[in-house]
C-alpha cells in the first residue's frame, strides 16, 4: 500500500510492542520511518 508514500513519520519508543507494530505498519504503507528506542538496541536493529 502507498497511503503514506512521500511522508515521514517519527515514532518515539518504536523498538518493541505497540511502537514496533506502528513502525512496521507505517513502513508497509510506504512512509519513511524514524524511531527512537531506550534500551532495546537489538530489537531496534531487527526492524
Per-domain residue ranges for the chain?
8-40
* Helix segments in 1-47, DSSP class H: 17-28, 41-46
Looking at residue 40, its pLDDT comes to 78
Three cell numbers, residue 35: 524511531
Q: Mean pLDDT in each 10-residue stretch from start to end of the chain (47 residues)?
A: 89 92 95 91 83
10: three-class secondary structure by DSSP: strand
Amino acid at each position: 500500500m502507498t497511503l503514506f508514500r512521500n511522508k515521514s513519520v517519527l515514532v518515539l519508543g518504536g523498538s518493541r510492542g505497540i511502537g514496533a507494530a506502528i513502525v512496521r505498519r507505517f513502513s508497509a504503507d510506504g512512509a519513511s520511518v524514524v524511531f527512537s528506542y531506550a534500551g532495546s538496541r537489538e530489537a531496534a536493529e531487527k526492524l
